[in-house]
Amino acid sequence: MNQLDQLKQYTTVVADTGDFPAMHAYSPQDATTNPSLILKAVQKDDYRHLLEKAARDHARLGTAQVVDRLLVAFGMEILKLVPGRVSTETDARLSFDTAGTIAKGRALIALYEAADVPRERILIKIASTWEGIRAAEVLQREGIRCNMTLLFSLPQAVACADAGAQLISPFVGRIYDWYKKSTGIEYTGADDPGVQSVRRIYDYYRKFDHATEVMGASFRNTSQIVELAGCDLLTISPELLGKLADSNAPMTRKLSADTAQAASLEKLTLDEKAFRLALNDDAMATEKLAEGIRLFCADSIKLDGLVDALIGA
């Protein structure tokens, strides 16, 4: 078997893309999107019609409502191609607004349900800030499942699990980027700080019986993926899916509930003060969280601009 098929024996493979042919080619179980991926997709001729239809049909509702309907339109098309779930992201500009995030999550689910898409097939993506985690706690109690994104540290992961989040998306590649820039070292294999971070989170969840799913994200190379075989889910770009499909190198399971029991980890208890202090003490996590929010905000503003140009706002 090629590496992609080997990986699917241990891990649920998720397509990290807004590109429909790539999903069809690699048969992932789920798919994820974010503002950057949607912005990139709607600037291609193949997907421009989704933007134009959303603008044409809902122009009178204003820019924000058109964007919501565009995101849901992408999600619905993706659900035709994957048997599982699609993740739809809330506006990154709400990252520090608990009430606004709750309202946005409810609105997106309402749009899906109005189109007869069951909420079990949708994950609402929310930034793993304290405010975002509190929003997820409310939404989860309402049966709205959440995917906590922009996650770079164990304290973030613990707070998400304590809030009952369905799934977290720790960012392997962005952690690797920070340490590579900071130290000048080209990390490989099990020495990769991004890999180590996800392994630590996975082991913590399994050791202390948290139900929240772990989905490694933001990969820079296939070595990072190979080292996380056995993680609950991995969301992978089409480029790296292709490399896995083209390789017949052996892949073995690296993460499991059994090996997690041997991990030397202490249970954390985090209130808001402890969470903020722990996050502040981690320079990498603090910087990458802030940077990630800024980048997603910038792309959301660009997406708004494309909508504005079509509706004459």
- pLDDT under 50: residue ranges of the chain: none
CA distance 53 to 48: 9
Q: What is the CA radius of gyration of the chain?
A: 19
CA distance 59 to 70: 12
pTM of the model as a whole:
0.95
Tell me the pLDDT tens digit for each residue of 151-197. Answer: 999 999 999 999 999 999 999 999 999 999 999 999 999 999 999 99
**Inter-residue contact 244 to 222 (CB < 8 Å):** yes
Q: Where are the domains of the chain?
A: 3-311
Q: Does the domain at residues 3-311 carry the CATH identifier 3.40.50.1100?
A: no
**Inter-residue contact 159 to 133 (CB < 8 Å):** yes
CA distance 155 to 279: 7
- Could you confirm whether 125 is annotated as catalytic? yes
**Inter-residue contact 159 to 275 (CB < 8 Å):** yes
Q: Which of 104, 125, 207, 288 is catalytic?
A: 125
Task: State the residue for tokens 């997709």.
Answer: 41
* Cα end-to-end distance, the chain, whole Å: 53
Tell me the pLDDT tens digit for each residue of 68-93. Answer: 999 999 999 999 999 999 999 999 99
